[in-house]
Amino acid sequence: MLEIKNLVVQIEDKRILNGLNLTVNKGEVAAIMGPNGSGKSTLSYVIAGKEDYEVLDGEILLDGQNLLEMEADQRAAAGVFLAFQYPLEIPGVGSMTFLKAAMNAQRKARGEDELTTPEFIKQVNAAAAQLEIPKDMLKRALNVGFSGGEKKRMEILQMALLQPSFCILDETDSGLDIDALRIVSEGVNALRSPDRAFLVITHYQRLLNHIVPDTVHVMHGGRIVRSGGKELALELEANGYADYRESEAA
Ligand code: ADP
Ligand code: MG
Ligand code: MG
């Protein structure tokens, strides 16, 4: 489904991704682990189409479509969704207004009719209940004054409503207490399906006890340096990333 070949990316003359290769199949949950600064967030932004990054080489294909030739909104319409490590607070934009606009923008890009308000409310209420999001939270401006856990739940709510085919979760576990971690993980697990793939970026193994990955990739120095099954996460938890730092120095 997602195929990244020899991706080289820089920002302000600083090389961040260095010939990264990664394949994620349909139905797969792929975890990316790696030390701080290894380029994990940069990879997620480049897939989602955030500007500022200069792609020097390589390609990113989603179902054979070249994502690098598409604007961020076209990528979203094609099914790419990024749950941010640090969700933005948007004063003046109500959460419900935002959700409806996001859903309708997606429908428009796909040539579908706008959602009616009753349909929209029905869908939001169902998804919010599953994520244990109280109604009054949705009456507030987007993410403004939300706790870390509430912001992450809001990201997963967006994902549940947009039903993307390729979901990227960038350190969704950071700032979550154990209850919020469970709720967020259940929300993600409910979306697992044979025609949807996930890229779960995390610094710690903890999240992967709840969202059990099919594959684990270790990122270091802007490339994938090792790939394996879910047991690789346990090995990393036990040994840390020191092995990879040494192999780089060697
Ligand atoms: P990770 O998510 O793995 O912690 P990042 O992708 O956030 O890593 O960052 C990788 C490297 O790129 C870091 O050294 C970081 O300082 C650098 N970097 C990221 N964004 C920028 C930017 N906008 N300007 C300059 N350097 C950046
Ligand atoms: Mg980081
Ligand atoms: Mg990061």
Q: What is the pLDDT of residue 15?
A: 97
Which of 247, 152, 235 lies closest to 200, judged by CA?
A: 152
What structural domains and CATH numbers belong to the chain?
A: 2-89+165-249 (3.40.50.300)
Structure tokens belonging to residue 171: 């350190």
Q: State which residues have CB under 5 angstroms from ligand 3, the bound ion.
A: 40-41
Q: What is the pLDDT of residue 249?
A: 47
Q: Which amino acid makes up residue 50? A: K
Distance 121 CA to ligand 3 centre (A): 33
Angle at 43 between CA 37 and CA 44, to 5 degrees: 110
41-60 as b/e, with b when 16 or more CB fall inside 10 Å?
A: bbbbbbbbbeeebeeeebeb
Q: What is the pLDDT of residue 38?
A: 94
Tens of pLDDT along 157-187? 999 999 999 999 998 888 788 888 888 899 8
Question: Which residue has the CA at smallest separation from atom 14 of ligand 1?
Answer: 37
| Ligand closest in space to the Cα of 38 | 1
Q: What is the pLDDT of residue 247?
A: 55
Task: Report the complex ipTM.
Answer: 0.95
Atom of ligand 1 at shortest range from CA of 42: 6
Residue 152: half-sphere exposure toward Cβ, Cα within 13 Å: 24
Residues of the chain with pLDDT under 70: 245-250
As a three-state string, the secondary structure of 175-210 is: CCCHHHHHHHHHHHHHHCCCCCEEEEEECCCCHHHH
Q: What is the pLDDT of residue 248?
A: 55
Q: What is the pLDDT of residue 177?
A: 84
Q: State which residues have CB under 5 angstroms from ligand 2, the bound ion.
A: 36
Confirm if 197 and 168 have CB atoms less than 8 A apart: no
Q: What is the pLDDT of residue 168?
A: 96
Q: What is the pLDDT of residue 178?
A: 87
